[in-house]
Structure 1
Amino acid sequence: MVALPSNEGGPRSRTRRAILEAAMVVLADNGTASLADIASAAEVGRSTLHRYFPERSELLKALALHVHGLSNAAIARAEPDCGPPLEALRRVVESQLDLGPIVPFVYAEPSLQADKELAAILDTGDEAIVEVLDRVATDGTAGPPCWPRLVFWALLNAGYEAVAKGTPRVQVVDAIMASLVHGTINSD
């Protein structure tokens, strides 16, 4: 998880967090939104935003680390190693779906993926998801070693989009689970 500045409860930390939270909402909706749009959503002036993040690239990197930390914390709260595998997997799916469409933005943003050090950090933390997927896959069939992880995130991306289009969350979770467990899409 990303460490916050040592003054965790102070005004500086709250302002930084407000900017990052606003960036999550604004950039999830419009990946090309301006820093002025983000400052407005955070209810801070542009000069304040620039004191924290002088360049857009710095804001994007901080946002990526923030989202990565939120994702890892959500995985931990879902307790993927506890209980029956299907229940654990459902909790993990729900925890990640709650993060919303900022996740695909972060992981698809070319400038973030071009930073090899950052990309290496972003490529960690979901090992518990792979483990619970392995616990669910009891029929002995398997694709390449990375396949379950890739399918999980692809289905989550589809889930973010479906929720954004108004599909009830429970239907999205059910569809993701059916696809992960049975490898089929049920239109019922």
Structure 2
Amino acid sequence: MSAALTVWARDFTAALSDIAERAKVSRSTLHRYFPERQDLVDAVLLDALQTIDTIARAANDGTRSPLDHLIYLLRSFVEVADHVVFLFTDPGRFTGNPHWGDTSDASLRALIAAAQADGALDPDLPTEWVEGIFNAHLYVAATTAQQANVPKHVIADNAIRTFLGGVATGRPAAGEAR
């Protein structure tokens, strides 16, 4: 499944033979465990969703503030970049799959709103806007982690730095003198 995740996070149209090659097994061995492509897609989808859910639960349990929670999520999601890219680059490809649900995340919006209420994020920006900025940084960090020869902790640091630099309080509003 790891090979499928790695291959499909880069090219969802890749053939099962490409996955077998990446896994260093024969196509017949892959077929023995996953008789149809959809069987493997479902297994990888469930694994990726479980990984993301585990990170989200750990963030709930291991952070003290909404901002810490957001930083934990961003840093942790960079570590599982292939999962993020596999799930969210084209979520429409899972439409109709019984394992796939609504990808909108009310809990992320609530977390952002809490960080805004705490004064950690600019309360003048719409929550949906900050959510989009968070997701954009997550996507750029995840795809960079896949392609670049840069340590993931550096990528996560850069994502956090630019996220907070763009939406943190203490910045001049549009049109204000610097």
TM-score, normalised to structure 2, is 0.72
Partner of 2:170: none
- Residue among 115, 119, 122 paired with 2:96: 115
Residues 28 and 105 in structure 1, CA contact (< 8 A), matched pair in contact too: yes
- Give 1:161's match in structure 2, choosing from 132, 143, 146: 143
Match of 1:79 in 2: 60
Decide whether the 8 Å contact of 2:9 with 2:83 is kept in 1.
yes
3-state secondary structure, aligned to 2:159: helix
Q: Is 1:175 equivalent to 2:154 in the alignment?
A: no
Whichever residue aligns with residue 6 of structure 2, its letter is V
User: Hey, what's the Cα distance between the residues in 2 that align with 1:175 and 1:135?
Assistant: 23
- Structure 2: which 5+ runs fail to align? 168-178
CA deviations 1:146-183 (Å, max 9, x no partner) are 44333322211100222332344334223322343332
Moved more, 54-63 or 105-114: 105-114
Separation in 2 of the partners of 1:105 and 1:159?
14
Deviations 1:46-80 (A, max 9, x none): 22322332322332232122111111111222336
Distance 1:166 1:44, change over 3 A: closer
Displacement of 1:81 after TM fit?
A: 6.9
Greater RCO structure (CA 8 Å; 6+ sep): 2
Match of 2:28 in 1: 47
What do residues 14-44 of structure 1 show as CA deviations (whole Å, max 9, x unaligned)? xxxxxx1121122234433321221233344
Measured in 2, the distance between the counterparts of 1:33 and 1:70 equals: 22
Residues 81 and 128, structure 1, Cα contact 8 Å, conserved in 2: no
Give the structure 1 partner of residue 48 of structure 2.
Answer: 67
Distance 1:84 1:109 in 2: 31
Matched, 1:140 2:123: yes
Rounded Cα–Cα distance in structure 2 between residues aligned with 1:146 and 1:55: 39
Is the contact between residue 75 and residue 128 of structure 1 (CA under 8 Å) also seen in structure 2?
no
TM-score of the pair, normalised by structure 1: 0.68
In 1, distance between residues paired with 2:64 and 2:154? 23
The letter of the residue matching 1:99 is V
d(CA) in 1 for partners of 2:14, 2:97: 24
- In structure 1, which of residues 90, 103, 123 is the aligned counterpart of residue 71 of structure 2? 90
- Root mean square deviation of aligned Cα: 2.9
Match of 2:110 in 1: 131
Structure 1 gap ranges (5+)? 1-19
> What is the match of residue 149 of structure 1?
131
* DSSP-derived class of the 2:63 partner: coil
Question: Take 1:51 and 1:132, find their aligned partners in 2: how far apart are those partners?
Answer: 44
After superposition, give the CA deviation of every residue in 1:89-139 in whole Å (9 maximum; x if it has no partner).
Answer: 221111111111342233234663332644425x26x55443332222234
What amino acid does structure 2 have at the position aligned with 1:173?
A
Counterpart residue type for residue 158 of structure 2: A
